[in-house]
């Protein structure tokens, strides 16, 4: 039994959080800490961009199996900051460790914001001390932490789930994510700038890492706002076992609950893509392989022409096929079925390599389906069993505005 | 000796052209023919998109070594039109052949415009007959043909060059290209919707095909407006040998002249990218391989974040490194040198993996360099000899407007 419930990162037993204003940003909250009363097993996915931020490099090198706290700042990504950036990321860990009476190895660090500027460590250290002193539980704590890690986000990406495991244990999962631009994570476990923090009181073993990669691949790694993978993407799962009960590694209910949480976050990130007015879901089925299906989803969801057509509810479905044709995925044009869904309309588009209709009136039906807050593109390649689902958003005037003015 | 001269496709000896209004488009000219008085050796590059338009499929299948004419329509891409589309493309060839007293195999066909709609062949046939009857030489003929193949283009992409070959022969090259959106050609010889037609009175042999691919790879295939490769890209070179003289296959002056013509077209296509206000040139040098350098150029030039930053002259150079990091190209961050050029300013940005400056005043210098009609990004990876140059444009409000309203 999996149930989505009200709550955030402090929902599972033993987790506290705080968000404060350190001064890195002019006004908004910009520094947060999540803390577990007992050391938690940590499962981390990092960006696969070759240019990695200082906090990502520091975390990957240390590769701690257990984390008791994670410190996060927004406003400055601490990326492209060379040796000084590395020192600053280490200082963030050390400062939080000292404040919380922990070993620095038990403290995770994440940063998001502008690339290529040094951190103002005076402000950051002040913020860490303030946040460490105001850790608490409940919706206010969730909210302050969530706000502290946001950049151009306009929606709070938070959710929680409860699952009853096979042994009867009730476990909770809390989750928070930030990310609106530079979003096309391709996170590799151990080795996504969405910053995501998942807390759970379930008990997990190190062997859960493989399942974690699988879940990341089907959720976070299938979101794309602009096809630009960040230097800072990091996704941390902390499991502190405080629910009691057996190891949940193989429990189908736990996996289902975690997948539901991750998918909810992924869809919210896409919907809150910079300047987005619509959520686009792309479903590809019948591909030769899963990898092929993924390639096709990514090509469609990243095409600026598809994205701007959907923004304008412009029934230019040929662009979807153009993107599919560039994806490198195997298919025979004559066999491809293309359907566009929006609201309660489901419109078949292609048959035998040509549109099923040509009349202006029928094209109008496509426009009506596209004129919805959520548009689903369904592509059936009909040559195999490979399938994948991904999420993106439309390309709007506001995306351009936000990104033409970001640093200033 | 290579000299860029005034002229278009009818500049070389023996070439005639015409552009007319057939009625496929409401008002503008929409159908053109280029004709050579003697059969010309043909070298053709086609889109490598798996979804290929009907004219591309027909041309690839026939693979004629000689062409005497090329018929082109705009307003309808004749793509995603199934069997009927193939028949229509063949009818276009046959109609032109009948009007011009040619074998249909000697007639090339290209289409550009909306995808997924059937051609109105009544109008197209009328247009072909009208164009065939009004073929002529000179700047008016060049201009009418150029206009007839344009879609969202705002600049006429035309140029000509003269070269004195080693044997003393003076040859002319004339060129016309269209393309503004769905531009990221990756054309393979024999086997990019930029439509490009190059005419020359030089004498070439079939062995020139290899050089032609090399030139395409370094010119047209390095242009990207939106990273979306069209279903219709085609680039035809017609060489009718009317200049007399020896075979120019290996003549360095001829190659230089053709490369200059193709580069001029490539830069003009980028500058006239849909909604573009700036031309972006990306130079990558010191890569391990040429292929790596190409990957890096494409990643930077296709990044929506880089493109929108340049639109706003926003000195967010970290995004260039983000794009480089995602390119799959090998490099060591500490060795990368990044320079931004604009107007007469040349600003070094990176040293040892971190920006060379942090002061707001220095960042202002980057903004000033970016605030130019032409911005050059120079990346030196310092690990090898691989180099590549590519061209793109900024991402603007107008790109979104044009593409949210295209079909309507």
- How many Å apart are CA B305 and CA B307, to the nearest integer? 5
* Contact residues on chain B for A280, CB-CB shorter than 8 A: none
Residue A4 CB neighbours (<10 A):
14
How much is the pLDDT for B374? 93
For residue A405, give the DSSP letter: S
Question: A93: closest CA among A33, A45, A149?
Answer: A33
Contact present, A404 and B312 (Cβ < 8 Å): yes
Cβ pair B49:A326 closer than 8 A: yes
Cβ pair A325:B80 closer than 8 A: no
Contact present, A120 and A91 (Cβ < 8 Å): no
pTM score, whole prediction? 0.78
Question: A110: closest CA among A269, A238, A300?
Answer: A238
Tell me if chain A has a CB within 8 Å of the CB of B371.
no
How much is the pLDDT for B191? 34
Query: Which 3 state secondary structure label does DSSP give A343?
Result: coil
- How many Å apart are CA A224 and CA A239, to the nearest integer? 27
Q: Which of B82, B311, B352 sits opposite A354 (nearest CB)?
A: B82
Query: Which 3 state secondary structure label does DSSP give A160?
Result: strand
Query: CA-based Rg of chain B, rounded to a whole angstrom?
Result: 22
What are the structure tokens assigned to A255, written together?
Answer: 């996996």
In the predicted structure, residue A376 carries a pLDDT above the cut 90: yes
Residue B6 CB neighbours (<10 A):
10
Question: A254: closest CA among A274, A277, A269, A237?
Answer: A237
In the predicted structure, residue A189 carries a pLDDT above the cut 60: no
- The chain-wide mean pLDDT, for chain A, equals 88
For residue A175, give the DSSP letter: E
Q: Which of A305, A400, A408 sits opposite B226 (nearest CB)?
A: A305
CB contacts under 8 A, A 330-359 vs B, are 331, 333-334, 350, 352-355, 358
Nearest chain A residue to B312, by CA: A404
Q: Which of B76, B77, B116, B327 to mutate to test the interface with A (most CBs of A within 10 A)?
A: B116
The domains located in chain A, with CATH, are 2-269 (3.60.70.12), 279-404 (3.10.20.340)
How much is the pLDDT for A196? 84
Question: B108: closest CA among B18, B41, B194?
Answer: B41
CA distances (Å), origin B407, targets B1, B272, B363: 46, 20, 42
CA distances (Å), origin A372, targets A277, A298, A321: 9, 21, 21
Q: Which of A56, A77, A326 to mutate to test the interface with B (most CBs of B within 10 A)?
A: A326
Answer left, alpha or beta for residue A82, where phi above 0 means left and psi between -120 and 50 means alpha.
left
Count how many pairs of residues, chain A against chain B, have C-beta atoms within 8 Å: 217
Q: Which of A79, A80, A120 to mutate to test the interface with B (most CBs of B within 10 A)?
A: A80
- Give every CB contact of residue B1 below 8 A, 6+ residues apart in sequence: B163, B164, B253
Q: Give A76: exposed, middle or buried? Use CB within 10 Å, 0-12, 13-18, 19+.
A: buried
Tell me if chain B has a CB within 8 Å of the CB of A326.
yes
How much is the pLDDT for A314? 84
Tell me if chain A has a CB within 8 Å of the CB of B77.
yes
Cβ pair A231:B399 closer than 8 A: no
Query: Which 3 state secondary structure label does DSSP give A222?
Result: helix
How much is the pLDDT for A276? 86
Tell me if chain B has a CB within 8 Å of the CB of A44.
no
Contact present, A363 and A357 (Cβ < 8 Å): yes
Give pLDDT tens digits for A146-184.
Answer: 999 887 777 788 889 999 998 999 999 998 888 766 655
Nearest chain A residue to B408, by CA: A314
Q: Which of B305, B350, B404 sits opposite A181 (nearest CB)?
A: B305
Place of tokens 């095909």: B209
What are the structure tokens assigned to B158, written together?
Answer: 């035309």
Buried b (16+ CB within 10 A) or exposed e, B73-94: bbbbbbbbbbeebbebbbbbbe
CA distances (Å), origin B402, targets A62, A280, A397, B268, B302: 49, 20, 11, 19, 18
Tell me if chain A has a CB within 8 Å of the CB of B361.
no
How much is the pLDDT for B190? 38
- How many Å apart are CA A269 and CA A287, to the nearest integer? 26
Q: Which of B117, B352, B363 sits opposite A82 (nearest CB)?
A: B352
Helices and strands, counts by H and E, chain B: 11, 17
Helix/strand/coil percent split, chain B, to 5: 35, 30, 35
- Give every CB contact of residue B316 below 8 A, 6+ residues apart in sequence: A114, A115, A116, A406, A407, B305, B309
How much is the pLDDT for A351? 78
Residue B342 CB neighbours (<10 A):
22
Helices and strands, counts by H and E, chain A: 11, 18
Query: Which residues of chain B register pLDDT less than 50?
Result: 190-192
In this structure, the strands spanning A223-224 and A386-393 are: parallel
Rounded to a whole number of angstroms, the distance from the CA of A242 to the nearest CA of chain B is 39
Q: Supply the angle between the helices A397-404 and B304-311 in degrees, to the nearest 10.
A: 70
In the predicted structure, residue A220 carries a pLDDT above the cut 90: no
Tell me if chain A has a CB within 8 Å of the CB of B400.
yes
In the predicted structure, residue A354 carries a pLDDT above the cut 60: yes
In the predicted structure, residue A191 carries a pLDDT above the cut 60: no
Local confidence band at A185 (pLDDT 50, 70, 90 cut-offs):
low
Nearest chain B residue to A357, by CA: B117
Cβ pair B400:A405 closer than 8 A: no
Cβ pair B228:A79 closer than 8 A: no
Rounded to a whole number of angstroms, the distance from the CA of A185 to the nearest CA of chain B is 11
Q: Which of A117, A322, A396 sits opposite B228 (nearest CB)?
A: A322
Q: Which of A181, A321, A407 sits opposite B314 (nearest CB)?
A: A407
In the predicted structure, residue A334 carries a pLDDT above the cut 50: yes
Tell me if chain B has a CB within 8 Å of the CB of A5.
no
Tell me if chain B has a CB within 8 Å of the CB of A193.
no
Contact present, A145 and A8 (Cβ < 8 Å): yes
C-alpha triplet A250, A256, A259: angle, nearest 5°:
110
Cβ pair A325:B231 closer than 8 A: yes
Residue A59 C-beta-side C-alpha neighbours within 13 Å: 31
In this structure, the strands spanning B195-200 and A223-224 are: unpaired
* Contact residues on chain B for A395, CB-CB shorter than 8 A: 304, 400, 403
In the predicted structure, residue A225 carries a pLDDT above the cut 80: no
The DSSP string of A113-153 is EESS----HHHHHHHHHHHHTT-B-SHHHHHHHHHHT-SS-
Q: Which of B52, B80, B354 sits opposite A81 (nearest CB)?
A: B354
Of the residues A193, A200, A211, A396, only one is catalytic, namely: A193
In the predicted structure, residue A352 carries a pLDDT above the cut 80: no
Question: B113: closest CA among B141, B88, B80, B139?
Answer: B80
Rounded to a whole number of angstroms, the distance from the CA of A379 to the nearest CA of chain B is 14
* Contact residues on chain A for B318, CB-CB shorter than 8 A: 77, 79-80, 114-116, 231
For residue B333, give the DSSP letter: G
CB contacts under 8 A, A 97-126 vs B, are 114-118
Contact present, B175 and B37 (Cβ < 8 Å): no
* Contact residues on chain A for B312, CB-CB shorter than 8 A: 403-406, 408
- Give every CB contact of residue A345 below 8 A, 6+ residues apart in sequence: A365, A368, A369
How much is the pLDDT for A205? 94
Rounded to a whole number of angstroms, the distance from the CA of A321 to the nearest CA of chain B is 7
Average pLDDT over residues A89-94: 98
Q: Which of B277, B299, B355, B407 to mutate to test the interface with A (most CBs of A within 10 A)?
A: B407
B193 is catalytic: yes
CA distances (Å), origin A304, targets A193, A357, B50: 20, 25, 19
Cβ pair A82:B354 closer than 8 A: yes
Give all strands (DSSP E) within A179-291, no chain letters.
188-189, 195-200, 223-224, 234-239, 279-287
- How many Å apart are CA A408 and CA B11, to the nearest integer? 49
Give pLDDT tens digits for A276-319.
Answer: 899 999 999 999 999 999 999 999 998 888 998 889 888 888 88
Rounded to a whole number of angstroms, the distance from the CA of A407 to the nearest CA of chain B is 6
Of the residues B193, B196, B211, B263, only one is catalytic, namely: B193
């Amino acid at each position: 039994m999996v149930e989505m419930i009200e709550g955030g990162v402090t929902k599972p037993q033993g987790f506290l959080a705080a968000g404060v204003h350190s001064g890195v940003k002019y006004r908004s909250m910009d520094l947060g800490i999540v803390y577990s009363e007992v050391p938690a097993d940590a499962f981390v996915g990092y960006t696969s961009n070759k240019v990695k931020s200082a906090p990502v490099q520091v975390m990957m090198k240390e590769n701690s199996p257990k984390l008791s706290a994670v410190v996060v700042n927004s406003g400055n990504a601490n990326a492209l900051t060379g040796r000084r950036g590395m020192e600053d990321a280490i200082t963030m860990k050390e400062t939080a460790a000292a404040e919380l009476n922990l070993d620095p190895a038990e403290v995770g660090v994440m940063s998001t914001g502008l690339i290529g500027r040094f951190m103002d460590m005076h402000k950051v250290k002040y913020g860490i001390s303030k946040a460490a002193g105001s850790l608490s539980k409940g919706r206010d704590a969730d909210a302050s932490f969530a706000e502290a890690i946001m950049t151009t986000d306009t929606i709070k990406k938070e959710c929680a789930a409860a699952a009853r495991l096979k042994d009867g244990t009730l476990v909770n999962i809390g989750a928070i994510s930030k990310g609106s631009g530079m979003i096309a994570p391709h996170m590799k476990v151990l080795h996504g700038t969405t910053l995501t923090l998942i807390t759970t009181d379930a008990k997990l073993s190190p062997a859960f890492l493989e399942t974690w990669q699988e879940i990341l691949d089907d959720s976070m790694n299938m979101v794309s706002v602009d096809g630009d993978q960040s230097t800072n993407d990091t996704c941390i799962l902390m499991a502190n076992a405080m629910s009691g009960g057996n190891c949940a590694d193989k429990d189908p209910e736990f996996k289902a609950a975690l997948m539901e949480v991750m998918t909810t976050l992924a869809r919210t990130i896409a919907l809150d893509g910079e300047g987005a007015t619509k959520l686009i879901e792309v479903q590809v089925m019948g591909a030769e392989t899963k990898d092929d299906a993924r390639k096709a989803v990514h090509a469609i969801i990243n095409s600026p022409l598809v994205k701007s057509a959907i923004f304008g509810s412009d029934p230019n479905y040929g662009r979807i096929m153009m993107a599919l044709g560039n994806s490198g995925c195997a298919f025979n044009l004559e066999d491809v079925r293309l359907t566009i869904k929006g609201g309660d309309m489901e419109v078949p588009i292609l048959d035998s390599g040509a549109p099923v209709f040509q009349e202006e009136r029928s094209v109008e039906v496509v426009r009506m389906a596209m004129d919805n807050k959520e548009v689903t593109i369904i592509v059936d390649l009909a040559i195999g069993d490979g399938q994948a689902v991904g999420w993106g958003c439309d390309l709007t005037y506001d995306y351009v505005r936000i990104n033409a003015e970001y640093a200033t």
